[in-house]
Amino acid sequence: MLHLKTLKALGEGLDQGEFSSEELTRHFLDRIERLNPQYNAFITVTAEQALAQARAADAARRDGKAGPLTGIPIAQKDIFCTTGVRTSCASKMLDNFIAPYDATVVSRLNEAGMVMLGKTNMDEFAMGSSNETSWYGPVKNPWDTTCVPGGSSGGSAAAVAGRLAPAATGTDTGGSIRQPAALCGLTGLKPTYGRISRWGMIAFASSLDQAGPMTQTAYDAALLLQAMAGFDPKDSTSMNEPVPDYLAGLDQPLAGLRIGIPGEYFSAGLNAATGAAVHAALAQLEAMGATLVAISLPHTELAVPAYYVIAPAECSANLARFDGVRYGYRCDKPQDLNDLYTRTRSEGFGAEVKRRILVGTYALSAGFYDAYYRKAQQVRRLIRNDFTEAFQSVDVIAGPASPSPAFRLGEKTADPIVMYLEDAYTIPTNLAGLPALSVPAGLVDGKPVGLQLIGPHFSESRLLNVAHQFQQATDWHQKVPAAVQSGDEQGGAA
C-alpha cells in the first residue's frame, strides 16, 4: 500500500518507475476525500494544484531533473502563507484570507519538487495543546478517534498518522510539533530557533515560533530539513549558518554518546506507564553504546509560568494587526471605529486566543511590566543557563515528550492550567532556542508515547543520528493505527 511507505521508499519507487507522481498524488487525494471527515485533519484540499504539481514533477523526472523529494506529496500546516490558497490559521478571523505570496518554507519545498495536498487543521493561531481550539472543529487522533492528536500541529500529525499524507510541516512555539508527534506515533523535529525561516509563517510568539518537519522516520525528517533549512534575508531572525548534510551522519554508531537524564523530567506529573516506556527506550540506547548520565535542570518547574507570560505578551502584540481594517474578518455594520475594533476582535477570535491576548496585554502594561514580563525573561535566561551547563558534561538530553498518551476530547478544555501542563517537558527548549525532537518509543493502552531528545544549538545532525539509530533497533516508528494497517477505515478499504 503506497500510503504506508516512507518518503525514502516513495522516492525510490518514483525513481524506479513503480508509479508516477500523479498516481501517487491521486492515491493520497482519494484517501483524504474518504477519510478526512473522520479525522478533520485538513481545512483546505488543493487537489487541482496538487495534480498540476505532480504532472510537472513527472516531467522533471523524465528530463533527469528530479531530486530526492521531487513528486512526493506533503501537507502544509495552515499557518504558512500559500499563494492563491486560503491561509486561515484555523480562525474565523482569517477564514476569508487568500495569501498573496508563499512562505519561505512553502517556496523551498516547492523548489524541491514536492506536491502540496492541502492545508492542515490546527489550534487557532497555534494556541493550544489538543487541536480543540480550531474554528473548524477539533481534529481526532487516528489511533483513537475519541482522543486528541495533540496541538497545535494536530492536523499535520493526524494527516501523517492516518496516512492521508506521507509527511507534513508543523510549527513549534512550546511543543506544538513534538507533543502531537508523540501522541500520534511520529518523528517530529523542532530545529534550533532561526534554522528555518519564519517569513510567511503567521506569527504567534516571534521569539519562540519555529517551523519543522513531521514524518514517519528520522531519515525522512532529515530529508525534509535539508530542503527547509537555511538563511533567509527576508527573516531578521534567520541564522546565517551553513546547512550541513543531514543524511551524512545518520549511520554513526552511538558508542561513547553521553545522554543526560534530567530528574525534573521524571517527576510526579509523569504518567507511570509513559515513564516506563521512556525508561525502556533509554535502556535500548544504553545497550547500543550510549552512557546515561544523571543531570539536573533546576529551573524546569518555572518554564511553564514563564512561557505563559512571554508567549501571550508576544501574541498580544502580533495579533493587534487583526482589527477588521486591512484584511480578514470584519464585523457587520460597525457604528464607529471603536465598535469596529471591539466587535471584530470579539467575534473573530476564539476563547483561548482572547484569553492569551488579555493575559499578554496585562503583562505588558505599565504597572506590571517589571513584575511579570521582565521577570519572566530573567527566568528564561536561567533556563537557558541550565541547558548550557548541562551540555558541558553530556551530548544530548533525553526524557518524555509528553506527560501521558493522548487524552480524550473535551477532557481538559475546562481547565486551561491543566491543559498548559501538557507542554511541561517541551516548553523549556523553546525558551532556550534549542533543537529537539520526539521519536516513537512505545505504546500505552494502545496509544503512542514519545521519547524527546534535546541538543545544543545547531545539533540537529546529532539528534537525527540518535533517532535514526534508535529506529534501526526498534519498530515503534513502523506501528500504525489498526484501521490504517488493516484497510478497514471508515469509508472503504485502503
77 included as an active-site residue? yes
Rg for the chain (alpha carbons), in Å?
Answer: 21
Phi and psi at 188, nearest 5°, equal: -130, 125
What is the per-residue pLDDT for 489?
65
Percent of the chain predicted with pLDDT > 70: 99
Q: What pLDDT does residue 492 have?
A: 38
Indicate whether 490 pLDDT > 70: no
The pLDDT of residue 14? 98
Q: Please confirm, yes or no, whether 176 is among the known catalytic residues.
A: yes
Is 153 catalytic? The answer is: no
Residue 410 DSSP SS3: coil
Q: Identify the pLDDT of residue 483.
A: 85
CATH superfamily name and code, 2-258+434-486: Amidase signature (AS) domain (3.90.1300.10)
Of 174, 177, 76, nearest in space to 437 by CA: 177
Q: Alpha carbon 159 to chain centroid distance?
A: 12
Looking at every residue in the chain, the average pLDDT score rounds to: 96
Question: pTM for this one?
Answer: 0.96
CB 453 within 8 A of CB 398: yes
Burial class (CB in 10 A: 0-12, 13-18, 19+), 64: exposed
Catalytic residue among 176, 238, 438, 459: 176
Residues 140-163: tens digit of each pLDDT: 999 999 999 999 999 999 999 999
pLDDT tens for each residue of 39-52: 999 999 999 999 99
- In a 13 Å sphere around the CA of 479, the CA atoms on its Cβ side amount to 24
Instruction: At 418, list the grid cell.
Output: 491543566
Asked if 234 and 219 touch (Cβ cutoff 8 Å), the reply is no
Q: Tell me what pLDDT residue 488 has.
A: 62
Q: What would the pLDDT profile of 398-425 be if each residue is shown by its tens digit?
A: 999 999 999 999 999 999 999 999 999 9
CB 6 within 8 A of CB 166: yes
How does pLDDT run across 39-96, given as a tens digit for each residue?
A: 999 999 999 999 999 999 999 999 999 999 999 999 999 999 999 999 999 999 999 9
**88, 152, 238, 404: the active-site residue:** 152
What pLDDT, in 10s, does the model give residues 423-446? 999 999 999 999 999 999 999 999
Q: What are phi and psi of 189, to 5 degrees?
A: -115, 125
C-alpha–C-alpha distance, residues 294 and 284, integer Å: 17
How does pLDDT run across 4-38, given as a tens digit for each residue?
Answer: 999 999 999 999 999 999 999 999 999 999 999 99
pLDDT at residue 494, rounded to an integer: 34
> What pairs with residue 430 in β-bridges?
none
Residues 5, 77, 190, 412: which is the catalytic one?
Answer: 77
